Amino acid sequence: MPDQQPNPLWHPFADMGAVDGNRFVVTRGEGSYVWDDAGRRYFDASASLWYSNLGHGRPEITRAVTEQLEKLDAYNLFGGVANEPALKLASRLSELAPVPGSKVFLGSGGGDMVDTAVKIARSYFVHTGRPDKTHVISRTQGYHGTHGFGTAAAGIPANAEGWGPPAADFSQVPYDNAAALEEEILRVGPERVAAFFCEPVIGAGGVLLPPDGYIEEVAAICRKHEVLFVADCVICAWGRLGTWYGIDRWSVQPDLVTTAKGVTSGTIPLGVLLAAPHVAEPFFTGRPGAPILRHGATYAGHPVACAAANATLDIYERDDIIPRGKALEKPLADALSGAVGHPAVAEVRAGLGFLAAVELAPDLLAADPGAPGRLHKFLLEEGVIVRSLGKGMAVSPPLVAEEAELDLLAAAVPRALDRLL
Ligand code: PLP
């Protein structure tokens, strides 16, 4: 790591005592690679934060953004004001939605959409005569961003604690047990439960794949008890699981879908929420005087972000990128097979979508809680960027990564693991 001057920049999720003066400065990106300020090249097996699905430096996106900046560089969406890229994007997103006729609410990122989903869920029940349905259930190890409600729904304890009293009416169930969801709904009382938040594959919490039948079961339990099924597909959408929205890998009908990240291939911040028609209905009565959702961000439907998203969707469609998330799931699992059975490793989780995790052995973690950080550093020295997790590492390469590039990962990971011992 280079020696640098301290800098006032305060990083998310960072030990600033260690970071300040030792930053990893990324200066350039092209395809699946980025370069640091010393000119070293890295294969970005993390796609930054699970989002550079098309890799870096897409001229089509650059052109669309530049043209939009020249035409209309900013405008809001409040009240009845619209802009052309937002209208076009909403139509496209709704057409691709797992539930036909879904309405589209736009925002500035994933956490923004999670908090929006909680408010829409509660508001939906207010406007359909069930104002007591306010309780939200999420899953252990789940990650739903760092805004207020997302923090209350956090299944990673360290992310939920230390902020004073959490928002009321939230609870959690074990991430891999569908029966536990029904028990919790019955414990709280179905007449009090508004929503269940579910990442199809839990991402930041460790790439935890759902057990067979889990997604169908929880969707059915939600339906039975009139609890809105919220698929948090901030990571899983945009081809990461080989489908447009991630949740559409299963034959279920989510009431709400939250997503962000890959909708612009990470180029410009944008959050997307889909509301199934019956959820949106109280607000879309077709005549003036409907209930107003008094909620929305300054940058909702920002024309430049929407232009970036439209250009990204064009490439996803033109180059048939979305199915790659499924086609590459086995090659990715194969690339990590060198970690399976390694003495430093407890488990390799892969095989559903183009994302995977390596969890380190418990004795190694007990002896050295900094082992994930060291693994990350050893892989950087190998020219590979992975995402460091509490118990190991995750990978989610750009969907445009070539199988040959996965060979880099395959070679580097066992060598880096060896150095942990
Ligand atoms: N939900 C999930 C499933 C996520 O993975 C994330 C971020 O990684 C979020 C919500 C929060 O998104 P953002 O960081 O854009 O607020």
Q: Is the CB of 145 under 6 A from ligand 1?
A: yes
Q: Is the CB of 234 under 6 A from ligand 1?
A: yes
Distance CA 390, CA 59 (A): 36
Q: Is the CB of 139 under 6 A from ligand 1?
A: no
Q: Is the CB of 204 under 6 A from ligand 1?
A: yes
Distance in Å, CA 233 to ligand 1 centroid? 9
Report the nearest atom of ligand 1 relative to the CA of 236. 3
Distance in Å, CA 398 to ligand 1 centroid? 17
Distance in Å, CA 38 to ligand 1 centroid? 30
Confidence of residue 2 (pLDDT cuts 50, 70, 90): low
Distance CA 276, CA 272 (A): 13
pLDDT at 28: 98
pLDDT at 274: 99
CATH number of 61-318: 3.40.640.10
pLDDT at 169: 98
* Interval 293-314 mean pLDDT: 97
Report the nearest atom of ligand 1 relative to the CA of 50. 8
Summarised one tens digit per residue, pLDDT across range 215-232 is: 999 999 999 999 999 999
* Interval 174-197 mean pLDDT: 98
Q: Is the CB of 143 under 6 A from ligand 1?
A: yes
pTM confidence score: 0.98
Q: Is the CB of 111 under 6 A from ligand 1?
A: yes
Distance in Å, CA 143 to ligand 1 centroid? 7
Q: Is the CB of 240 under 6 A from ligand 1?
A: no
Distance in Å, CA 114 to ligand 1 centroid? 8
Q: Is the CB of 225 under 6 A from ligand 1?
A: no
Distance CA 341, CA 80 (A): 58
Summarised one tens digit per residue, pLDDT across range 125-160 is: 999 999 999 999 999 999 999 999 999 999 999 999
Q: Is the CB of 110 under 6 A from ligand 1?
A: yes
The closest residue, in CA terms, to atom 1 on ligand 1 is: 144
Q: Is the CB of 392 under 6 A from ligand 1?
A: no
- How would you classify the pairing of strands 193-198 and 228-232? parallel
| Same-fold call for 16-53+323-420 versus 61-318 | no
Q: 68: which 2 tokens?
A: 């939009």
| Average pLDDT score over the chain | 97
Domains of the chain, by residue range, sit at: 16-53+323-420, 61-318
pLDDT at 325: 98
User: pLDDT above 90 covers what percent of the chain?
Assistant: 98
Confidence of residue 404 (pLDDT cuts 50, 70, 90): confident
User: pLDDT above 70 covers what percent of the chain?
Assistant: 99
Residue 236, helix vs strand vs coil: coil
CATH of range 16-53+323-420; options 3.30.530.20, 1.10.10.10, 3.90.1150.10, 3.40.50.720:
3.90.1150.10
Distance in Å, CA 289 to ligand 1 centroid? 34
Beta bridge partners of 335: none
Distance in Å, CA 301 to ligand 1 centroid? 18
Question: Is the pLDDT assigned to residue 1 strictly greater than 90?
Answer: no
Q: What are phi and psi of 281, to 5 degrees?
A: -50, -45
Q: Is the CB of 155 under 6 A from ligand 1?
A: no
Residue 222 · residue 148 · CB < 8 Å: no
* Interval 263-289 mean pLDDT: 98
β strands within 108-143, DSSP E? 135-139
